[in-house]
Amino acid sequence: MSVNPPNSLRELFLGFLSIGARSFGGVMPWAHRVMVEEQRWITEADFAETIGLCQFLPGPNIGNASIVFGKRWFGLSGALVAFLGLFGLPFIWVLALFALYADFAATNETLRAVVTGVGAAGAGLFIGTAVKLGRVIARRPAALALIAACFLAAGIGRVSLFAVLPIAFAVALVCARRGLL
Amino acid sequence: MLLELTLYFMLLSLISVGGMPSVLPELQRYVVDVKGWIMPEEFMQIFAVGQAAPGPNVLIASLIGWKVAGLGGALLALAAMCGPAAVLAWRVADLWERFKDSPWRKAVQRAIAPIVVGLILSGGFILATPGAPDWRLWAIAAASAAGMLLSKMNPLWLLAAGGVLGAVLL
């Protein structure tokens, strides 16, 4: 399959704009559709590799991906243009939706119940994601112990992430170097 | 308040390994428990709107900024949550490529995975438990987790089903 990177900043901007505009129910599938299938900017393997990197870096995965790809093709201006294209429309929509919601929710009991239900379902999606990712690695006892410890500390104990993350990472790195993970 | 929020988000940006899902417990702890800027139920509703709207879920940070300090807060919160991490991504992208076969890179990847899983699990638990434990919210969360694991449908349908269940149960 031949790839065909964007020729201009305008093309880059419009591509990321169309990712952001359509990203109902998750951005990643749309990023894949636009960049790999529709525009053919990059190959499947390249997409997977870059997303893999962005999942290990701090920050929003897809936001980081826009920076990495934008930089690759057009340097700093590419990174900025891709980022702005990605976030421009969703930023406006989420604020508008929330303003609308806040207007009606004050007086409408049912709307509040619906939105709380949506929130609980969203929480369920997180739990499902954790199970999906966890299934792959939890065969190792050390990995299972780390998952449990992080959950107990951050989820139940409400310990600050600024304490949990450095400690957990140091322990996990030692485990990984000894072949326990 | 705006300055405080911005600086906090910039710090959070740098430790947000695994993206927004894994920092939600910390975010909730800070803006609800420590600062009291946002009520527990409100936090869940902000999250719900952020999930239902199209776009990256880091926009939840914008909604919190909006709630605390209006439009300026929304813009600054997004910039602060993405900026430091973006600078890091900018620097690291080439480096990461160069260390493709290094044992350290593999160790880092293996080390981060279980931590991210534990944190995302925490995020789900905290969002489903905004006040005292409520079996109805847990049931909705469990149903949507099961739906996600057992089918390949667009998550929007699961959120919609959660809304319907909310109207019926709550």
A115 CA: distance to closest CA in chain B (Å): 6
- SS3 of B1, please? coil
B121 CA: distance to closest CA in chain A (Å): 5
Beta strands in chain A (DSSP E): none
B6 CA: distance to closest CA in chain A (Å): 15
Name every chain B residue with its beta carbon within 8 A of the beta carbon of A26.
154-155
Over range B135-160, report the average pLDDT. 92
pLDDT digits (tens, 9 = 90+) for A31-50: 988 999 899 999 988 888 88
Q: Is there a contact between A67 and B90 if contact means CB atoms under 8 Å apart?
A: yes
The answer to whether A63 touches B62, Cβ cutoff 8 Å, is: no
Over range A76-90, report the average pLDDT. 95
Over range A58-78, report the average pLDDT. 92
Q: Is there a contact between A113 and B92 if contact means CB atoms under 8 Å apart?
A: no
pLDDT digits (tens, 9 = 90+) for A100-119: 988 888 788 899 899 999 99
| Residue B29 β-bridge partners | none
Q: Is there a contact between A121 and B125 if contact means CB atoms under 8 Å apart?
A: no
CA angle B63, B157, B38 (to 5 degrees): 20
Q: Which of A161, A52, A151, A58 is nearest to B110 (CA)?
A: A52
* Closest alpha carbon within chain A to B122: A155
* Closest alpha carbon within chain B to A95: B63
Can you tell me the distance from the alpha carbon of A52 to that of A49, in angstroms, rounded to the nearest whole number?
Answer: 5
A37 CA: distance to closest CA in chain B (Å): 19
Over range B5-33, report the average pLDDT. 92
pLDDT digits (tens, 9 = 90+) for B52-111: 888 888 999 999 999 999 999 999 999 999 999 999 888 887 787 788 788 888 888 888
Q: What is the pLDDT of residue B78?
A: 95
Element (H, E) at B99: none
Average pLDDT over chain B reads 91
- Global pTM reads 0.88
In sequence order, what are the residues at sequence separation of 6 or more whose Cβ sits closer than 8 angstroms to the Cβ of residue A120? B44, B127, B128, B137, B138, B140, B141, B144, B162, B165, B166
Q: Is there a contact between B55 and A89 if contact means CB atoms under 8 Å apart?
A: yes
Can you tell me the distance from the alpha carbon of A125 to that of B17, in angstroms, rounded to the nearest whole number?
Answer: 18
Q: Is the ipTM of this complex over 0.85?
A: yes
Domain boundaries, chain B: 2-102
Can you tell me the distance from the alpha carbon of A69 to that of A78, in angstroms, rounded to the nearest whole number?
Answer: 8
CA angle A46, A52, A58 (to 5 degrees): 130
pLDDT at A55 exceeding the cut of 80: no
The answer to whether B2 touches B69, Cβ cutoff 8 Å, is: yes
Q: Is there a contact between A56 and B128 if contact means CB atoms under 8 Å apart?
A: no
pLDDT at A53 exceeding the cut of 90: no
Q: What is the pLDDT of residue A172?
A: 94
Q: Is there a contact between A59 and B19 if contact means CB atoms under 8 Å apart?
A: yes
| Residue B17 β-bridge partners | A58
* Closest alpha carbon within chain B to A173: B111
Q: Is there a contact between A143 and B113 if contact means CB atoms under 8 Å apart?
A: yes
Backbone angles phi, psi at A5, to 5 degrees: -60, 155
Q: Which of B17, B18, B46 is nearest to B31 (CA)?
A: B46
Q: Which of B103, B58, B55, B118 is nearest to A142 (CA)?
A: B118
Q: What is the pLDDT of residue A117?
A: 93
Residue to mutate among A127, A139, A159, A164, with most B CBs inside 10 A, is A127
A1 — pLDDT class (breaks 50, 70, 90): low
Q: What is the pLDDT of residue A30?
A: 85
A36 CA: distance to closest CA in chain B (Å): 19
Domain boundaries, chain A: 1-101, 108-137, 138-181
Q: Which of B113, B126, B86, B95 is nearest to B18 (CA)?
A: B113
pLDDT at B3 exceeding the cut of 70: yes
* Closest alpha carbon within chain A to B47: A119
Q: Is there a contact between A172 and B115 if contact means CB atoms under 8 Å apart?
A: yes
Can you tell me the distance from the alpha carbon of A16 to that of A4, in angstroms, rounded to the nearest whole number?
Answer: 15
Q: What is the pLDDT of residue B134?
A: 92
Backbone angles phi, psi at A40, to 5 degrees: 55, 45
